[in-house]
A and B are shown apart, each in its own frame.
Chain A
Amino acid sequence: MKFGIVVFPGSWSERDMHYAVADVLGYEAEYVWHGETSVNDFDAILLPGGFSYGDHLRCGAIAAHSPVMSAVKDFANGGGFVFGSCNGFQVLCESGLLPGALIRNDHLEFRCAPGRLRVESSRTVFTAQYVEGDVVSMPISHGEGNYQADDETLAMLESDGRVIFRYVDGENNPTADANPNGSRNNIAGITNDGGNVLGMMPHPERACEGLLGSVDGNPLWQSIAAAVDSGKS
């Protein structure tokens, strides 16, 4: 199992992702520079949080046109597993690998806080090791995590079971109070049509050790690794 962690100028979660998958869980992981033109050596590609290229123009917009993202698109279109969180989610939307867009938080502030998420589907390669309906804790840290899509897209995401994580309150309901950024339907993470690309705003790599407050991010990497292993066997 070898993770490739993409590094754009301005990324800042790549080291945390490396720590979570390699130091904590013991998988192989390597950084992939944004100028690379192939990612085929890897079993899964991770797009980190941060401010790629300063997020000039729009969050993730310039990264979407980087050489490495051409390679990541080919990789994803060939069925490869691609995961992006925070800025990585923004890059996936800007690249067209995921529908919709992430705009400024409705309260106009950056928000760093614990995130309370309900696992809406465990029938994905990214969440197979979670129990559907379980509530997990993963931090959020973003200024532009407000997920928006048109009604038709939203209805499709919901009916196809592609909403994977949703922000919920203390009673596990997706209320307005539980919504940290104004996302439609309290959406925290979605997959693509093929189920091999997941984007989410919260940071599973920050929920990797009890000492830091949560280990709820680890099953996500373990799910990917299990899916890769079963594909190989």
Chain B
Amino acid sequence: MIAVAPIAQDLLDEVALSRAEYEAIVDRLGREPNELEIGLFGALWSEHCGYKHTKALLRMLPNTSERLLVAPGAENAGVVDIGDGYAVAFKIESHNHPSAVEPYEGAATGVGGIVRDILAMGARPMALMNSLRFGPPTDERQRYLLNGVISGISGYGNCIGVPNVGGEVVFDSSYAGNPLVNAMCVGIIEGGKVMSARADAAGDLLVLVGAKTGRDGIHGASGLASRTFQEQAEMRSAVQVGNPFLEKVLIEACLEAIQLPGVVGMQDCGAAGITSAAVEMAERSELGINIDVAKVPRRETEMSPYEVMLSESQERMLLAVKPGHEGALFELFEKWDLDAAIIGSFEDGGNVVVRDDGEQVSSTPVVTLTDAPEYRFNSPKPNWLEKLQNRDFSNLPDLETTPNEALLRLLASPNIVSKHTVWRQYDHQVQNNTVIAPGGDAALLRIQGTERALAVTTDGNGRIVYLNPRVGAAIAVAEACRNLSCVGAEPVALTDGLNFGDPETPDIQYQLQEAIAGISEAASAFNIPVVSGNASLYNESAGSAVQPTPIIGALGVLENVESHARSAFQDDGDAVIVIGTDSPWDTFDGLAGSEALAVLHGAIAGQPKLDLDLEVRVQGLCRSLIGRELLKSAHDISHGGLAVAIVESAVQGNTGVTIEHDDPFTDWLPALFGESQSRIVITCSADDADTILTTAADSQVPATKIGTVGGDAIRVGDLIDVSLTDAADAWLNGFGRVTTN
């Protein structure tokens, strides 16, 4: 043990290293790190880059598949084979804290960052999605955050020519001090040329391309992303500023560059800038690396080596290039008016050597820098959770509302109301592939030159995960896959965005360990891998954590794009069938974590349930019926239960619907609005109903014919009778009324 002179606490706080971690660094280096090295360790040992609290748990996730081309964690994003010589890279990433501080730039650079992760795989970005969480939209500050984030996504995303095909916007008071902004990008690789973020051999050049480097974003990874933050305004300089025009040009230039001989590796400069990008490349290449910060093109003067190494200036990529091939590369980047500079080289020896105009300012072993500590835990179930789960719904107070009023209220409630006023601000059609636009169960994008299509969705329900982290996270996977199945696509891979509170507290640890186990169980049931992901911890404000919110991004493949289904009802007289259940009416169990319970009773309680075997069968049946072109529509029952699901399909199809069923129920609230899993509302021409019911029985899937499409009203037995006009007005215009009051 080396004697450690007491280092000032504020220096450690600046980079969010604990004293124990600092001592470990001294021990491994055999000396005290200098100021620059404290910065390097602070970044690479941050929660954001080092996954200190999640590394061990993430190893539980299923990571094998015949389709897998690039293993999870091996590169910037996982890559799966989708057939016909095409591969898909996709990943979800959070930009929560930057968006809390500066919503426009935080969200914009979140989009930019995930796009570059996909680009680094050699993929052309072909779709974006966003999963957003805010506090109640009735609050002025929340509307400021909401509008800033949406403008940032729209401002950046629309400029780069990648369609934004939707996602989620969800509200809960737990997110008021700490909104969640998760962005997913999907990219396509033609002809199998997957890029790697590694050099080939010692002597390969390290080339920085794209934007110039400034002082923006310093300590983004260590400070903003890896601890709870109290004084938001003070951290504003840690938020990067994006330039989508440069990003668009960078995408085109990099996609051309990887076709050049001698360009062997590509890596995006994201969190912790050049530091993280270069060290990760060195680690993957099992080489050392030499960087001269004086060679980095800058847009500000007198930047220190520390600032250059830790800047999170956007729109930059690192390339590994064989010596002698840099000439053609420079010509290409000059054509695109982008900087390209050799800032170093890969070397034998395994050290990261930083120089400033030739003079060595730091030398540390790659393995030490990347060997962030791994914290394991096994925390018990909190006592308060037991009580919430055991809540008895049969003695809920009587509601002073009718089913009609309850339906209209739920339709206009923030988490159910149509978000079309958000999506229409995103270009969701550029690239000419969008078959199903935002608003469907999943977006559907055809692959030009093939008969195939990709389905994509993001899902996550913090309330359900809060009530039971394991089952809730499994439900997020099940629902994401169900959304894919509702358009007819087979789920092939997942990406997870884990948004949790302070992992140093037992309750959050319990949520983390259980949620990751739940994702793992569900992904295994569907036999699909989790190919990429991101962990965002310390999502707290004023000592209060956000609801545990794993966001699942799911990718599905549809072999024949013509055989897809939409959620809109089609023709008068079509039969309405619910699959996954024997009765249209849900039970008290379905109220667990439901919108109805939250909106009408102001409560979050109950024990969420999921039968994974049934879920897999229900989805298989749905896909098979769509593939046989027997269905006119398919729509997942989720927020707001059966009643809301049929209104959504009715409004989208501009037709009414009548549900008539004599199965008895005990209480209209769960019967109409319960959110039990594994249920899909399908429609078909009346002649096909019997075939479908028989097929369902053969597949061991309960199914019931519950009604008929048509008319100009939503009618459910003698409980609900609402005109299509009123239902449409509540659902389509409710969001505008909530957010402009």
Contact = CB atoms under 8 A, between A and B. Distances in A.
B245 A53 contact: yes
Given A23-B448, A110-B158, A110-B425, A9 B249 contact: yes
Which 6 residue pairs of A and B lie closest in terms of their CB atoms, listed nearest first?
A12-B161, A54-B245, A16-B432, A141-B427, A51-B159, A112-B427
A59 to B, nearest CB: 12
Contacts of B336: 9
Nearest to A51: B159
Chain A contact residues, majority secondary structure? mixed
Nearest to A15: B431
Interface of A: 9-10, 12-13, 15-16, 19-20, 23, 49-51, 53-56, 109-113, 139, 141, 143, 203, 205-206, 208-209, 211-212
A141 B431 contact: no
Given A16-B431, A19-B432, A54-B243, 16 more contacts: A9-B249, A10-B159, A10-B249, A12-B248, A13-B430, A23-B448, A49-B430, A51-B159, A54-B245, A55-B245, A111-B424, A143-B158, A205-B432, A206-B429, A206-B432, A212-B429
Given A111-B424, A211-B435, A211-B446, A139 B154 contact: no
8 contacts: A10-B159, A13-B430, A15-B432, A110-B425, A112-B158, A139-B429, A212-B433, A212-B435
Contacts of A56: 245
Nearest to B252: A9
B51 interface: no
Nearest to A111: B424
A31 B653 CA distance: 41
B543 to A, nearest CB: 37
Interface in B143-173: 154-155, 158-161
Given A9-B336, A12-B248, A110-B425, A212 B161 contact: no
A212 B428 contact: no
Contact of B430 (A12, A20, A143): A12
> Which of B161, B246, B435, B446 has the most CB atoms of chain A within a 10 A radius of its CB?
B161
Contacts of A51: 159, 244-245, 248
Interface in B416-470: 423-435, 446, 448
Contacts of B429: 112, 139, 141, 203, 206, 212
B241 to A, nearest CB: 14
Interface in B74-110: none
B623 to A, nearest CB: 19
> Which of B155, B429, B435 has the most CB atoms of chain A within a 10 A radius of its CB?
B429
B154 A212 contact: no
Contact of A16 (B249, B424, B430): B430
Given A10-B245, A19-B448, A50 B161 contact: yes
> Which of B424, B425, B433, B448 has the most CB atoms of chain A within a 10 A radius of its CB?
B424
B152 to A, nearest CB: 12
B440 to A, nearest CB: 13
Nearest to B423: A112
B337 interface: yes
A152 to B, nearest CB: 34
B308 interface: no
A141 B428 CA distance: 9
B356 interface: no
B726 interface: no
Nearest to A141: B427
Interface string B212-254: 0000000000000000000000000000000111101100000
Contacts of B432: 15-16, 19-20, 205-206, 208-209, 212
A1 to B, nearest CB: 21
A16 B427 CA distance: 14
B153 to A, nearest CB: 10
A10 B248 contact: yes
A177 to B, nearest CB: 14
Contacts of B435: 211-212
A211 B452 CA distance: 12
Nearest to A17: B432
A56 B159 CA distance: 12
Given A9-B337, A12-B248, A212-B434, A54 B424 contact: no
B680 interface: no
Contacts of B243: 54
A22 to B, nearest CB: 12
A50 B448 CA distance: 21
Interface string B712-731: 00000000000000000000
A23 to B, nearest CB: 7
> Which of B244, B246, B248, B336 has the most CB atoms of chain A within a 10 A radius of its CB?
B248
Contacts of A20: 432
A125 B161 CA distance: 29
A42 to B, nearest CB: 21
A111 B427 CA distance: 8
A56 B433 CA distance: 28
A37 to B, nearest CB: 16
Nearest to B158: A110
B561 interface: yes
> Which of B245, B248, B336, B430 has the most CB atoms of chain A within a 10 A radius of its CB?
B430
A94 to B, nearest CB: 17
B562 interface: yes
Given A12-B430, A19-B448, A110 B245 contact: no
B424 A113 contact: yes
A193 to B, nearest CB: 32
Contacts of B434: 212
A19 B336 CA distance: 23
A15 to B, nearest CB: 7
Nearest to A52: B245
A203 B427 CA distance: 12
A138 to B, nearest CB: 11
Contacts of A10: 159, 245, 248-249
B427 A110 contact: yes
A135 B693 CA distance: 42
Contacts of B426: 110, 112
Contacts of B248: 9-10, 12, 50-51
A230 B561 CA distance: 38
Contacts of B562: 211
B456 to A, nearest CB: 17
Nearest to A23: B448
A206 B434 CA distance: 10
B159 A112 contact: no
Contacts of A203: 429
A99 B104 CA distance: 34
Interface in B41-100: none
Contacts of B245: 9-10, 51, 53-56
B160 A112 contact: no
Interface in B580-633: none
A143 B158 CA distance: 9
A49 B425 CA distance: 16
B253 to A, nearest CB: 9
Contacts of B161: 12-13, 50
A10 B253 CA distance: 11
A141 B448 CA distance: 21
Nearest to A13: B430
Nearest to B428: A112
Nearest to B161: A12
A14 to B, nearest CB: 9
Nearest to A14: B161
Nearest to A205: B432
Nearest to B562: A211
A156 B432 CA distance: 36
B446 A112 contact: no
Contacts of A111: 424-425
A206 B161 CA distance: 13
